[in-house]
Amino acid sequence: MKGIHSLCYLALFSSLLVFTSCDDEDDTAPVVDIEAVTVEDIQTAGTRQAPDPTYFDLESGEVVDDSRAGTNDWDIAFDNTTILINSGISGPGSVEAQVLEQGFDNIEEAPESGYQQDTESSLAIPSGSGNGWYNYTSDTRPTNAILPILGRTIVLRTNEGHYAKMEILSWYQGNPDPSTEEFANFDTRPESRYFTFRYALQTNGSRQF
């Protein structure tokens, strides 16, 4: 009997050891970082080449043709300095967004609440200098420039219910350095109405980045 009891204890101990090892393995599973994607020189409305808003799908990472403007195939649209989202007055989708006064790299989790859609009274991503993603420099050097506000990040919930964070990097072709003499000079400043931005999209259903 003593030998049988010992075998039973040994089997139970082995089972617990295997179970514990599996739990430890699950707890230490590596977390895969989401890589940010940089999108360059998206030409916006306000020119002959782009008279209408430019539509963009965050899920595919591609510009969407104007013929699909009335669908859920896009998440955001660029209209001069204004960024629209596919919801409310701007589109038939369910996209929601908000602007956070936090750096892109510092946001590890999307907020649970605070999202808005585009309405008649306000846009989810506010337009105008100092209100949303940019400042207009006016007489401050470099004069009459549209520059992204450092430390501001747009967080969105896409039509598919996925969370994304986005940082606008530039409104000028080629993402130029605005501190240079070339940029300060109107004759050599690159053409405007070209968005360059980076974003990270979480597709596993969580709010983690």
Q: How far apart are CA 73 and CA 65, in angstroms?
A: 9
Q: Are 47 and 193 in contact (CB under 8 A)?
A: yes
Give the pLDDT confidence score for residue 30 in this predicted structure: 47
Query: Where are the chain's structural domains?
Result: 1-30, 32-202
CB 93 within 8 A of CB 75: yes
Q: Residue 163 and residue 199: Cα distance in Å, rounded?
A: 10
Cα distance between residue 103 and residue 133, in whole Å: 12
Range in 30-39, 89-98, 113-122, 130-139 the model is least confident about: 30-39
- Share the mean pLDDT of the chain: 88
Share of the chain above pLDDT 90, in %: 80
- Which amino acid belongs to residue 179? S
Q: How large is the average pLDDT for residues 91-105?
A: 98
pLDDT grade, residue 32 (50/70/90)?
A: low
pTM, to two decimals: 0.83
Residues in a beta bridge with 195: 42
Q: In the predicted model, is pLDDT for residue 120 greater than 80?
A: yes
